[in-house]
Amino acid sequence: MTDNNTRQPDANFTNLTFDEIRKRIMAHAESYYPETYKDFNKSSFGAMMIDMLSLVSEQLNFYAQFIGNESFGPGHATSPMVLDEHETEVGDPTATSMTSYGVVKFYTLAPADAVQSGVDLNYKHKILMGARLTSPEGGVFTTLQDATVDLNPEFSVGTSFSTDGSRVNYYIYETEVPVVSGEIKEISVEVGSHRRFLKVELKDYSVSEAITVVDSSGNKYYEVDNLGQDRIYMSVPNLASKPDQVPSIMMPTPVPRRYTVRKEDGRYFLQFGYGSEDSVVYFKGKAKSKVSLPFNIAADVTGKDYNKALSFDPTMLGHTNKFGIAPQNTTLTITYRSNTTENTNAAAGTITGASSVELLFDDESILDSSKVDYIRQNITVNNDDPINGQRIEYSAMERSINIAAKRGTNGRCVTAQDYVAASYLMPSKFGKISRASIDQDRNDINRRLNMYVMSQDRFGKLEQASAPLKQNLKTWIESVKMITDSIDIYDAKILNLGLEFDVSLKNTSNYASAISEIREALYTEITDVFPQIGEPFSIFEVERILNSMDVVNGVVSVKVKNKIGTGYSDIRHNISSNVSPDGKMIYIPADFIWEIKNAKDIVGKVN
């Protein structure tokens, strides 16, 4: 008979520390192997084996829990790679490095006419798109569009005189041009026989976006959010437009050749579908998916290639179950934008180098070549405003919260939190917003929504977003907002604060170094994560941080002041009239964001 009272080994070692596992193994050995194992000395060979087994068990426990947490969902994940995958699942294309946008002013010359009556209009010129500019930190920026230099005297910002000062030689004109961080690069990739879901790697860790992908036959491939998306919307000229109408319209365009962008362990891939050229027919020389032609919609009608029914599902015209056509036996030419520095933001006044600028004159053949050369050799640039869009990476917790918010939107913005989540999840190639909030304009009869945003400078400090970055955000929000909502985007106001603390120290503390030590620790703790726009400032949190320090015995008082002047924002806020009844909170307006800019803004005394 089986002895039901026979003890079974206690082999459940999950959720245990090294010491707990070791004690349990020792007890197990004492109970089940009393005659075999008797040497429990800490320096014995057996003790060493037990220690090693305990160590391995602890590591296995850790990795089992780690994998479980990483797989369960974004709220439990901490690995950047896993969070990248969760963000990709909810439609946040983080596969590219971040891009910054801004405006740069070009200063170009135009000679005076022969009779010294003004500028010679024959030298009217255009700054071509793709001009390459540089910053002292090694950043490269390129212009996004052609810009015509208007030789109207109103836009002249200066003059260049002859050597004796008797006459004007050249007029100086200022032209604003939007720019983006990074430079244009091109690579060729050989593709062999057909492979399902082909992945092509761009071996450049600084890729910000793929611009064009063309095969050796001239076929163009289009980027889509996912391979199930078989059409995109392209802007085409509205030939019937009048001055008071839109100049272009958006047309849905089938894209049998398409790809998505993926990031895997820091590597950049273009992924294609699994269709082949056999799934494409050519109509009047143009490639079309077979299923996009009406006569291919017949569904199992006794082998016929036509449909006798008087009606059919028109949505099938754009449907394909091949997820797009993968390139095969060809060479792909991929043009992409690559960032040249890890941080792509640039402070005002730092874009001063013009390494490659191309000017196009209306009719260069009739111009004086020496004057044309002089104009091309004397181009200067500068940026009056910051260029931003690079965002210091969020913590794992912040990323998890954004992912959860994005999942709740289902691709559309309904609630205020949906709009905030959508602003954070704007594709990296359009730049990134660091903070955003939404507030309803109660003074507007149509109850418009006001979105307040904030960016960062290259050192991680708060900075107002550049105009092109806000325009990109507006375009992005337009694609996901409810049709009845109207949104205006504004800069949030930066409120610089300073702190004064009074604490008592423990008897063992060094009074000479205590203030500096407390100030640095407090500044690091408070500035570890940016506040939200409109978030109150918590005096209680400051007191908690101070009380948690080893050198502090108790907090006597904490005072908050509004910092203004050189190097600070000019925003004023009445601190005393905006303190909560218990004195532990300072209320901040909905369009304000507070910041303690420097450690020196924290001062104090010790007792």
pTM for the structure as a whole: 0.70
- Coil/strand/helix, residue 488: strand
**pLDDT band at 585, cuts 50/70/90?**
very high
| 440, 447 Cβ separation under 8 angstroms | yes
161, β-bridge pairs: 168
CA distance 399 to 443: 34
Count other Cβ atoms within 10 Å, centred on residue 437. Answer: 22
- 600 has pLDDT over 50: yes
Q: Strand pairing of 101-111 and 168-181?
A: antiparallel
**pLDDT band at 350, cuts 50/70/90?**
very high
Report domain 396-491's class: alpha beta
Give the model's pLDDT for residue 367: 93
Give the model's pLDDT for residue 311: 43
The mean-pLDDT minimum among 301-315, 366-380, 528-542 falls in: 301-315
- 395 has pLDDT over 70: no
Q: What is the mean pLDDT of the chain?
A: 81
Longest dimension (CA), the chain: 123
| 74, 403 Cβ separation under 8 angstroms | yes
| 160, 170 Cβ separation under 8 angstroms | yes
Highest averaged pLDDT of the listed ranges 133-137, 289-293, 317-321: 133-137
- 296 has pLDDT over 50: no
| 485, 449 Cβ separation under 8 angstroms | yes
Count other Cβ atoms within 10 Å, centred on residue 15. Answer: 9
Burial call 89-107: b when 16+ CB within 10 Å, e when fewer:
ebbbbbbbbbbbbbbbbbb
Give the model's pLDDT for residue 411: 66
Give the model's pLDDT for residue 28: 81
| Higher-pLDDT residue of 457, 238 | 457
3-state secondary structure 95-135: CCCCCCEEEEEEEEEEEECCCCCCECHHHCEEECCCCEEEC
DSSP letter at 46? Answer: H
Determine the average pLDDT of the residues in 310-327: 58
The mean-pLDDT minimum among 441-455, 479-493, 521-535 falls in: 441-455
Residues in the chain: 607
The residue type at 349: G
- 404 has pLDDT over 70: no
CA distance 513 to 518: 9
| Higher-pLDDT residue of 280, 437 | 437
Domain ranges of the chain: 18-72, 101-182+341-382, 184-338, 396-491, 494-606
Determine the average pLDDT of the residues in 349-358: 91
Give the pair of three-digit tokens for residue 286: 């143009």
pLDDT tens digits, one per residue of 228-279: 888 887 766 666 655 555 566 667 788 888 998 887 777 888 999 888 766 5
The mean-pLDDT minimum among 170-174, 398-402, 564-568 falls in: 398-402
| 533, 437 Cβ separation under 8 angstroms | yes
Phi, psi of 30 (to 5 degrees): -65, -35
Nearest to 103 by CA among 340, 344, 343, 348: 348
pLDDT tens digits, one per residue of 244-258: 555 666 677 888 889
Phi, psi of 80 (to 5 degrees): -55, -40
pLDDT tens digits, one per residue of 37-96: 777 777 788 888 888 888 888 888 877 777 777 776 666 666 766 777 666 666 555 545
CA distance 261 to 271: 6
In the numeric block, the tokens 């197990």 are attached to: 28
Give the model's pLDDT for residue 94: 52
CA distance 522 to 529: 13
| Higher-pLDDT residue of 357, 403 | 357
